[in-house]
Structure 1
Amino acid sequence: MMETKVKIIERVKQGEKIVDIAHSYNMNHSTTGMILQNKDKIMKDVKSVVLMMSTIILKKHGKGMEEMEKLLSVWMQDEHQHQVPLSLMLIQEKTKSFYEDLKKKHGEESEGSAFKASHGWYHQFKDRANLHNVKVRGDTRESP
């Protein structure tokens, strides 16, 4: 539900009519209005969750993970702007490459299991990085 609220807020910011947005989500106009009325609180809650998730990831994989996600986000946006087709497999390979390079840079040793750039990680990363507009072949959750 939180994801839907954020999408509604983003669509209003992009200039879509509230009536059209409410209709697309099969909601009452008043429900959409309440979401917009509470948008500051909703966005604050979203930022808190993103910060918490980033902290969990940082603790689990070290400081290289946060830097790797930033690099990957920039790379994906650049590829998207240049209309380079992306596949989930290509993104996973690029992710592992960035991660390994950054581990070496930061002098981090491999502890326990290696980072796998799994489908679950990818979908959470895509949400955290707000990359909903980037189309990826093999992504089962592509936005319409």
Structure 2
Amino acid sequence: MLPQSVLIKLSLEVKTEIFKRHDKGEGTCAIVSAFHLAQSTVSTIIKKGEAIKAAAGEVATLSASRITRHREPAMEELHTWVEDQNRRKAPMSQTIICTTALSLWEEIKVRQNLDDSETFKASHGWFDHFKRQASLHHVRMYGEVMSDTVVVAVFHNELKRIIP
């Protein structure tokens, strides 16, 4: 049986030091020995060097081991809109929320003078992520399936026919 691997959170300071050593020409094996890390860990850090440099420039302290990003103001606007609709007991569905998100995106593109290369797609995956991120599991959702009374009536009649 293989031993379980242990998750080690490295600070940005350590990651930048590994990246600097590699840039100076030090070999991966030497870096692995110096930091007592797995070779795959060091290789991944070296591979993601540009992202690490960018992250190191964004944070106040290099001792951070986790970087969090703030939500976009558009997502805050959308979250506020959804909560407002829920307070008014307005029917909500994925289609309505995604359509509203797309219209908010168009407004933001105009406000911030973004070009057409900046795109946004309100997909099913985006919606699931938005719902989780905004903690909207409590929002009442209504959809086509719930409002299709014709299908329910047909099913009910078919069930009566099968079970007298």
TM-score (norm 2): 0.44
Quick check: which one's helix share is greater?
1
